[in-house]
Structures are given as C-alpha cells and as structure tokens.
Amino acid sequence: MPLTNDGMVPTFGIGGQAQAWGGYRIVPKAVEPALEGWILSELARPSAAQKGGFLSDLFQMPPHKLEQELIRKQQVFDFHPQIIWRNSSVASLGTFLFARISTVIITDNEDVTQDAGNIEPPWFMAAMAAALAPLRAALDTNSALLKKVDRRSAIIFNENRTGGSDERFEIVLFPNYEDPTLPPHNLPPLTSRAAIAGLTEMQKRAYYIGYFPGGRARNEEREASIYVAIGVRMVL
C-alpha cells in the first residue's frame, strides 16, 4: 500500500480515519466492529492514557519505533509481527489484538493481504540479509584468520617431526586456504611419508600447483617441493 508524505497530524486509523506518523500517511483496512469498540474503550480508559498502557503506547509510536516494539513483543508472545496469523492457537484476546494491530499497521504497508497466510512479506528476506550482513562479514573474517592459523600450526607441527618412517603429519592447507583433501581437489591426505611416496604423478602435479601457484618444477622435483611446502624434512 503506498505511503504519502503529507505532514498529517498523527491519528490512528480506526473508524475509517487515516493514520500518519512523521509525515507518512497510512490508510488502514477495516477493523471488525466488535474489536474496534473494544480498542476504543481501552484507549478511553484513564489508565491507558495516564500510565502509557500497551495500546496507548502502540498508537502513539512513530512507524520505526512501532515496528521495533512489535518485534520485541514477538519474543513475549511467540508471534511474528510481519506475518498475518489466522490460526486458533492465539491464547488470549490481548495476544489476538496484538496480532491484529500488527496486521493493520505494519502489513498494510507491504504487499501482503490476509490471504497471504503464514508467509513472510516480500521484503522480509532482504531485510534479514541486510541485518545479518555485518555478522556474516565478521564470521568470514574470523574464518579466514582461523584458516591462516591452522595452516601455520600444521607446518610448525610437521617441522618438529624427527624423521621416523611411522610419523604422522598434519594436513597443510594450500596458500589460498583451501583443503587439498576436499572438493574441488580431492587429493589423498599427506599424513605420512608413505602417503607422499604413494602419490601418482598427476597427484604430485596437483599438489605442486596448489602449494606453488605459477611455479615451475620438473616431475622429479615435485615430491621434494611437496615436502618443503608441508614443513617435513625429506629423508634421502
């Protein structure tokens, strides 16, 4: 539903009245007469006005504050304010009113109708993606740092092996932090000298390219280069 910037004085849209906060005009949908009467009677109670009751607070909030409050109340009522609920699990009239007000105020401003059922509005996924973007960026940064630490610690571990034939090595990530044993590489894990010796020429070439991008080495030099890359002393 379109919004217009006409500088109206805030009034709630019950009884066919239009509502505007901060210059934004909202044309409400019809409210059931019985519910409308109950809402008006609640608003007329002195306690609602004097004490800033739940209903009074909702009707006086600007849109951005109202949406924040409804989302906060979601955790209390286990109710999603951007979704129109029509099921019978509503526990009380207060919860039902909360759901109905959410529908009237918020979803009227989106391309959502009562026929939408329990489907989020079109903007919801994009809004969630935008809200989570900083968290995803932080996680990506932490993941890159952890891979860097993992690669370096594996090399240090391998450097401290004494040269025994039965020693186990740690898998060393490629410089781009890809795991050579996982797709798209799917190479055998280099966890022992026997594993390195058992590589085919094609696998040695793949490992060499992974550890030394753009490098050039003859076939007989690749195995020695792999030992260097993973921090293992080659036993002649």
In this prediction, residue 50 carries a pLDDT of 42
Task: Please report which residue ranges of 10-110 form alpha helices under DSSP H.
Answer: 33-44, 46-50, 54-60, 63-77, 93-105
Q: Average pLDDT in the 193-198 region? A: 93
pLDDT grade for 154, boundaries at 50, 70 and 90 = very high
Q: What is the pLDDT of residue 119?
A: 59
Supply the pTM of this predicted model: 0.45
Taking the C-alpha atoms of residue 100 and residue 93, their distance in angstroms, rounded to an integer, is 10
Please write the tens of the pLDDT for every residue from 82-103: 333 333 333 344 444 444 454 4
Which of 82, 167, 93 is CA-nearest to residue 126?
Answer: 82
More confident residue, 153 or 218: 153
The amino acid that residue 2 corresponds to is P
pLDDT bucket at 204, cuts 50 / 70 / 90? very high
pLDDT of residue 26: 36
Q: Mean pLDDT throughout 192-213?
A: 94
Q: Tens of pLDDT along 174-185?
A: 999 999 999 999
pLDDT, tens only, 214-233: 888 888 899 999 999 999 98
Residue 8 pLDDT > 70, yes or no? no
Backbone region of residue 71 per phi and psi (left: phi > 0; alpha: psi in -120 to 50; beta: other values)? alpha
